[in-house]
């Protein structure tokens, strides 16, 4: 177990938490995505009315930062659970995606310009 | 660097990717949350019309699983970026949240019952 | 005013509600979208752990249906607010979108088949 | 039919569109919410990297405003569909919610202050 990497470990902890409560029966992918959406909604609510420039300083306050951390953690928990029920290796998928983004977005071309969605 | 844990490493890789493109200027928390919402939307679209019971077998197909992995990775990338700009240690926040859930949801009480939101 | 159509009327009521509280200052589009995301999250949470086939019968219960109605209303309120601050005529946009969908999805071709997102 | 109000009419048009394609079979509430999340994601992507103060002027451009209108329409279409499958009268629910908000948020108390979510 000493070689277990962090995302695999957290995935296992979330799986064990679910199994101990016999909650894996509720964790079909669509349900887990809805739960993820619920947590993303709670995250959005923390920031919705704060002026954009003010968000970082406002959340420098320890209690608020901890509050944001809780909502971020909730999103991660469901994201790990989703990857797990789908048999997706989230660490590998993320490294692959980053490598792909390095290829797609050449700094010489995109520097300082936000890619626009249309 | 050999002691760097996985979430810290991925967070650093995402940060470096952003800095190399001078994109950190776009990464105020509200904007990053909107980008996260965009990726969650793409994830939802993959599953929306698939019967709930059919989602896991359908995504056992290698190409589809890779496709789901890409969207899950995109969500994780923005979640790491958000934690980073807020100064949240996502690994610590997640371990703390799991410990808290262990306390809140006693298996003897909640086993087999989905906690209902009202 | 007697010719005012329903979406225009509701848009006006939401605008007046905001103005009376001097809240229009918070209603830049990105903030309103985050508020919308928050309400979509609350809607998702109502359904997340309910078996897909069971959602309609479960929400036939009057109190639950009213609860779902509240969350649906919250989403609509922010959607109307967003359209209003952007100067989008939501009724016209929706009729146009439906006409466009009629053209894009020929019943003879798509009948009984969910369009798949890739 | 001449007395049909606008939201009821649009709800009926969306229902007929679905029935003509035999798509009502896919429209259980959880699936429709996931489709709604997909459209909210597309809406978020239009705005994600635009500076908050710049969003309204940027979308004053006719093509962009039409683009935002399309995404707003897509969200409304799925919201109407969801209300319909749940038997929720969205117009009544929205008027009730607004009346409730008038009671909860006294202008004399909340004027100029964004209610904070915790």
CB-based contact C34 A44, cutoff 8 Å: yes
Task: Give per-residue burial for D7-30: e unless 16+ CB within 10 Å, then b.
Answer: bbebbebbbebbeebebeebbbbb
Q: Is the ipTM of this complex over 0.90?
A: yes
Distance CA C22, CA B79 (A): 33
DSSP codes of every residue in A54-102 = GHHHHTTSHHHHHHHHHHHHHHHHHHHHHHHHHT--HHHHHHHHHHHHH
Whether D35 and chain C come into contact, CB under 8 Å, resolves to no
Q: What is the mean pLDDT of residues B16-29?
A: 97
Tell me the nearest-neighbour CA distance from A37 into chain D, angstroms: 8
Q: What is the mean pLDDT of residues B32-41?
A: 98
Structure tokens belonging to residue B99: 């410990």
Residues D36, B46 contacting (CB under 8 angstroms): no
Scanning C21-89, the segments in alpha helix (DSSP H) are 29-47, 55-58, 62-86
Q: How many CB pairs under 8 A join B and D?
A: 51
Whether C55 and chain B come into contact, CB under 8 Å, resolves to no
Tell me the nearest-neighbour CA distance from C69 into chain B, angstroms: 13
Q: Model confidence at D118, in pLDDT bands (50, 70, 90)? A: low
For residue A30, give the DSSP letter. Answer: H
Distance CA A101, CA A78 (A): 24
CB-based contact C40 A39, cutoff 8 Å: no
Q: What is the pLDDT of residues A90-108, one digit of tens each?
A: 999 999 999 999 999 999 9
Q: Specify burial of residue C8 (Cβ count, 10 A radius: 0-12, 13-18, 19+).
A: middle
Task: Name which of B30, B49, B52 is nearest C114 (Cβ-Cβ).
Answer: B49
Computed on alpha carbons and rounded to an integer, the radius of gyration of chain C in Å comes to 18
Q: Which residues are CB-neighbours of D101 under 8 A, at least 6 positions away?
A: C17
What does the pLDDT read at residue A115? Answer: 76
Residues D10, D84 contacting (CB under 8 angstroms): no
CB-based contact B38 D41, cutoff 8 Å: yes
For residue B105, give the DSSP letter. Answer: S
CA distances from D62 to C80, C101, C116, D29, D73 (A): 19, 21, 30, 34, 16
Residues B30, D21 contacting (CB under 8 angstroms): no
Phi and psi torsions of A115, nearest 5°: -60, 130
Distance of CA D26 to the CA centre of its chain: 20
Distance CA D10, CA C105 (A): 18
Distance CA A9, CA A13 (A): 6
Q: What is the pLDDT of residues A47-93, one digit of tens each?
A: 999 999 999 999 999 999 999 999 999 999 999 999 999 999 999 99
CA distances from C8 to C14, C16, D66, D93 (A): 10, 12, 18, 16
Q: What is the pLDDT of residues C34-66, one digit of tens each?
A: 999 999 999 999 999 999 999 999 999 999 999
Q: What is the mean pLDDT of residues C88-113?
A: 96
Helical pair A6-20 and A90-104, crossing angle rounded to 10 deg? 140
Whether B116 and chain C come into contact, CB under 8 Å, resolves to yes
Which is more confidently placed, B40 or C117? B40
Task: Name which of D31, D46, D115 is nearest A117 (Cβ-Cβ).
Answer: D46
Distance CA A110, CA C57 (A): 51
CB-based contact C45 A38, cutoff 8 Å: yes
CB-based contact D65 C86, cutoff 8 Å: yes
Residues C88, D68 contacting (CB under 8 angstroms): yes
What does the pLDDT read at residue B18? Answer: 97
Predicted confidence (pLDDT) at residue B74 exceeds the cutoff of 90: yes
CB-based contact B44 D47, cutoff 8 Å: no
Q: What is the pLDDT of residues A18-48, one digit of tens each?
A: 999 999 999 999 999 999 999 999 999 999 9
Phi and psi torsions of A87, nearest 5°: 70, 25
CB-based contact C115 B49, cutoff 8 Å: yes
What does the pLDDT read at residue D17? Answer: 97
Distance CA A84, CA A82 (A): 5
Distance CA B38, CA B34 (A): 6
Distance CA A10, CA A13 (A): 5
pTM of the model: 0.97
Whether A118 and chain D come into contact, CB under 8 Å, resolves to yes
Conformational region of residue B87, where left means phi above 0, alpha means psi within -120 to 50, and beta covers everything else: left
Predicted confidence (pLDDT) at residue D98 exceeds the cutoff of 90: yes
Question: What 3-state DSSP class applies to D82?
Answer: helix
Predicted confidence (pLDDT) at residue A118 exceeds the cutoff of 70: no
Conformational region of residue B112, where left means phi above 0, alpha means psi within -120 to 50, and beta covers everything else: left
Apex CA B92: angle with CA B42 and CA B17, to 5°? 50
Phi and psi torsions of B27, nearest 5°: -95, 45
Q: What is the mean pLDDT of residues B21-25?
A: 96
Share of chain C above pLDDT 90, in %: 93
User: Which chain D residues touch C97 with a CB distance below 8 Å?
Assistant: 70, 73-74, 77
Residues B38, D41 contacting (CB under 8 angstroms): yes
Question: What 3-state DSSP class applies to A104?
Answer: helix
Residues C41, A44 contacting (CB under 8 angstroms): yes
What is chain D's mean pLDDT, rounded? 95
Distance of CA D103 to the CA centre of its chain: 23
Task: Name which of C21, C74, C76 is nearest D111 (Cβ-Cβ).
Answer: C21
CA distances from B87 to A54, A72, B42 (A): 15, 12, 27
């Amino acid at each position: 177990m000493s070689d277990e990497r962090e995302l695999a470990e957290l995935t296992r902890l979330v799986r064990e938490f679910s199994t101990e409560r016999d909650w894996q029966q509720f964790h079909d992918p669509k349900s887990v995505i809805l739960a993820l959406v619920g947590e993303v909604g709670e995250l959005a609510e923390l920031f919705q009315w704060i002026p954009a420039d003010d968000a970082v300083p406002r959340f420098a306050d320890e209690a608020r930062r901890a509050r944001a951390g809780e909502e971020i953690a909730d999103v991660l928990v469901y994201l790990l659970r989703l990857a797990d029920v789908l048999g997706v290796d989230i660490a590998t998928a993320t490294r692959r995606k980053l490598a792909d983004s390095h290829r797609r977005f050449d700094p010489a071309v995109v520097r300082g310009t936000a890619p626009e969605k249309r």
